[in-house]
C-alpha cells in the first residue's frame, strides 16, 4: 500500500539499529566478551530510539564535528538538521582503555543494551560543557539573562545540571542495539515504534497527522489543543514521554491511564492514538520542541502541536519561544536533510467563564478575572499540597485518579511555580 505520510527525517527511510533473530543472538554472545561500559539512563533511551528508528537518520552517537554543528547551527556536519546533541559520555579512566576501532558493550543497570564500534573519542572540558549549555539551554526568559543564567541554572535547570555532570570524554560511533528494555512489557499497546505508528496511520487512511507532546497528565488545555488538531487533521497521536522525568513529575503509568480515561470519555476514538516513547526529558525548551518535531517526523507525523512554554522549565524561556524558533531553523533545500514536520502554533488557552468554554487569546475578548489558567505545573503543585482544584481545570475522572495517586505518596517534592504556569504574563 502506498503511504501518504511524511518521509522519515534524513532521506534514508527509517534507520533502525535494533537487531533481531540470529544476528541478535550472535551479537549478544559477542557482547559478553567485550569491554563493558556503564551508560546513563538518558543514553539508554537514546539507544532505544536509535534502535527503533525514532532518531533516524542517526545510527550512533555524534562525533565532535556533529556535536559542534548541532550546538552552533542546528545541523550535523553533513548539513542534516538536528537540534540537540546526542552524545555518549564516559569517564577518563574508561576512555583510557579504549582506542578508535575498538568494539565495546554499552550496559545500563546490568543489561547490555548495545554494542558500539568506536569511531572517535574526544575530551569534553568544563568550558565545552558550559558552551553546550549556553547554546542549547539558554533562552529569552528572565532566568536566562547573562548576569543570572549560571547562578540559577546550576540549581534549577535539570538539563544544565545533567550536562555539567557528564563525564569528561565522549565516544562516537555506530551502534547495534540489542534491547528495548522494559518498555514492551510495561507499556504494551502504548509503547509503539515508528514502523508501528506508521502502519496504524496507513491502516486508518491518515495522511495529515498531528502530535501532542505530553509529560504531564492531560488537563483541559491539552484536551483543547488535541481537539483543535482533530478538526483540521486526519488524526492525532497523543505521544507521552515514558522515560525519566525530574523529581516531582507524575510517573508515566499514571499519565497514560489518565490519557486513556479522557480518550474513552471525551474523544472519538477513531481519531486518536495514545502512545509513548522511551526518552528521558532534556528540558531544553525551544530546542526540545524542535527535537520533538524531528523524531515525530520519523513516527509519521507532519504537524507538531506547540503551545505555551513547550518543554519549558523555570523562567528560562519566553512563553512562545518554542514556536518562534521554528521560524529561524536552517534550510538546505534538501528535503531529506531539512525538517519536514511543521509546528501547529496555538496561542495561550484557558477556560473562560464568560465564554462558557475553552478559548484562547485569539478567540476570547474577556479579562484575566474571567479565565481559569491551566498548566501542568500548577496542577501538580495543587495536588502535591492537597489544595482545592478550581472548577474546569480538568475532567473529574482524571482528577480523581490523580488525587488517588498523590494520596498514596509517602514523600512529596516541592513544586516550584514559574510565571508561565501562574498566568502572571497574561494580558
Provide the pairing of β-strand 120-123 with 169-177: antiparallel
Residues 8, 194 contacting (CB under 8 angstroms): yes
How far, in Å, CA of 295 to CA of 288, rounded?
11
**What pLDDT was estimated at residue 90?**
97
- Altogether, the residues listed in the chain come to a count of 427
Mean pLDDT by groups of 10 residues along the chain of 427 residues: 92 98 98 97 97 98 98 98 98 95 97 98 98 97 96 95 97 98 95 98 98 87 94 97 79 91 95 96 94 98 94 92 97 97 94 95 94 79 82 89 86 57 55
Q: pTM score, two decimals?
A: 0.93
Please list the residues that pair with 123 across neighbouring strands: 169
Q: How many Cα atoms are found within 13 Å in the side-chain-facing hemisphere of 368?
A: 6
Q: How many Cα atoms are found within 13 Å in the side-chain-facing hemisphere of 48?
A: 25
| Domain positions in the chain | 21-124+166-179, 186-422
Q: Which of 77, 79, 75 is nearest to 64 (CA)?
A: 77
Residue 111 sits at φ, ψ, to 5 deg, of: -110, 135
DSSP E strand boundaries for 110-198: 111-117, 120-123, 169-177
* pLDDT, tens digit (0-9, with 9 covering 90-100), for 377-401: 778 788 888 888 888 888 999 999 9
Structural class in CATH, domain 186-422: alpha beta
Distance of alpha carbon 44 from the chain centroid: 14
Q: What is the CATH number of domain 21-124+166-179?
A: 3.10.400.10
Mean pLDDT taken over the chain: 93
**What pLDDT was estimated at residue 427?**
60
**What pLDDT was estimated at residue 336?**
97
Please list the residues that pair with 214 across neighbouring strands: 240
Going from the C-alpha of 36 to that of each of 47, 61, 92, 170, the distances in angstroms are 15, 17, 15, 16
Residue 131 sits at φ, ψ, to 5 deg, of: -65, -45
Residues designated as active site = 215-216
**What pLDDT was estimated at residue 183?**
96
Amino acid at each position: 500500500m502506498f503511504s501518504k505520510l511524511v518521509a522519515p527525517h534524513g532521506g534514508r527511510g527509517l534507520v533502525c539499529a535494533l537487531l533481531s533473530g540470529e544476528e541478535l543472538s550472535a551479537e549478544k554472545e559477542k557482547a559478553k566478551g567485550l569491554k563493558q561500559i556503564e551508560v546513563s539512563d538518558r543514553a539508554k533511551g537514546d539507544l532505544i530510539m536509535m534502535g527503533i528508528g525514532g532518531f533516524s537518520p542517526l545510527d550512533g552517537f555524534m562525533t565532535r564535528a556533529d556535536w559542534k554543528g548541532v550546538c552552533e547551527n542546528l545541523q550535523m556536519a553533513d548539513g542534516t538538521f538536528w537540534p540537540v546533541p546526542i552524545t555518549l559520555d564516559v569517564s577518563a579512566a574508561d576512555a583510557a582503555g579504549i582506542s578508535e576501532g575498538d568494539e565495546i558493550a554499552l550496559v545500563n543497570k546490568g543489561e547490555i543494551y548495545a554494542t558500539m564500534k568506536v569511531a572517535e573519542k574526544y575530551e569534553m572540558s568544563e568550558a565545552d560543557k558550559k558552551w553546550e549549555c549556553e547554546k542549547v539551554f539558554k533562552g529569552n526568559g528572565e532566568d536566562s539573562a547573562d548576569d543570572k543564567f549560571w547562578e540559577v541554572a546550576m540549581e534549577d535547570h535539570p538539563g544544565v545540571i545533567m550536562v555539567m555532570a557528564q563525564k569528561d570524554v565522549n565516544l562516537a560511533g555506530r551502534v547495534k542495539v540489542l534491547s528495548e528494555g522494559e518498555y514492551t512489557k510495561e507499556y504494551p499497546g502504548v509503547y509503539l515504534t515508528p514502523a508501528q505508528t506508521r502502519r496504524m496511520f496507513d491502516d486508518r487512511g491518515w495522511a495529515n497527522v498531528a502530535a501532542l507532546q505530553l509529560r504531564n497528565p492531560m488537563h483541559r488545555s491539552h484536551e483543547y489543543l488535541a481537539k483543535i488538531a482533530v478538526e483540521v487533521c486526519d488524526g492525532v497521536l497523543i505521544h507521552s514521554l515514558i522515560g525519566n522525568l525530574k523529581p516531582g513529575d507524575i510517573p508515566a503509568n499514571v499519565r497514560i491511564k489518565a490519557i486513556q480515561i479522557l480518550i474513552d470519555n471525551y474523544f472519538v476514538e477513531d481519531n486518536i492514538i495514545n502512545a509513548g516513547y522511551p526518552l528521558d526529558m532534556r528540558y531544553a525548551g525551544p530546542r526540545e520542541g524542535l527535537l520533538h518535531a524531528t523524531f515525530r517526523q520519523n513516527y509519521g507525523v507532519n504537524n507538531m502541536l506547540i503551545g505555551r512554554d513547550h518543554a519549558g522549565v523555570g523562567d528560562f524561556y519566553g512563553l512562545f519561544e518554542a514556536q518562534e524558533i521554528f521560524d529561524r531553523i536552517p534550510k538546505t533545500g534538501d528535503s531529506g536533510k531539512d525538517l519536514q514536520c511543521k509546528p501547529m502554533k496555538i496561542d495561550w488557552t484557558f477556560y473562560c467563564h464568560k465564554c462558557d468554554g475553552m478559548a484562547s487569546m485569539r478567540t476570547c475578548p474577556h479579562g484575566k478575572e474571567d479565565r481559569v489558567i491551566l498548566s501542568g505545573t500548577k496542577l501538580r503543585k495543587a495536588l502535591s499540597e492537597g489544595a482545592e482544584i478550581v472548577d474546569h481545570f480538568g475532567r473529574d475522572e482524571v482528577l480523581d485518579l490523580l488525587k488517588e495517586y498523590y494520596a498514596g505518596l509517602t514523600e512529596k517534592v516541592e513544586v516550584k511555580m514559574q510565571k508561565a504556569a501562574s498566568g502572571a504574563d497574561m494580558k
